[in-house]
Amino acid sequence: MNNQDPRGGMHFAGYRIGETFCLSPSSSIIAVDEVPKELNQIPGTKPWLMGAGRLDRQLLPFVNISRFLNISLPHLAVGSSALFVKGGEGIGNVALVVDEICGFVLASELRDCEQSNFMIPPGLGKSMRKAVTARGQTWALIDLPALIADDKLQNVDLT
Angle formed at CA 38 by CA 37 and CA 39, multiple of 5 degrees: 115
DSSP assignment of 62-82, as one string? Answer: EEEHHHHTT---TTSPPP-EE
In this prediction the pTM is: 0.85
Over the stretch 75-95, which tens digit does the pLDDT of each residue have?
Answer: 555 568 999 999 877 888 999
pLDDT of residue 150: 82
Q: How far apart are CA 119 and CA 121, in angstroms?
A: 7
Q: How far apart are CA 24 and CA 144, in angstroms?
A: 7
Over the stretch 96-111, which tens digit does the pLDDT of each residue have?
Answer: 999 999 999 999 999 9
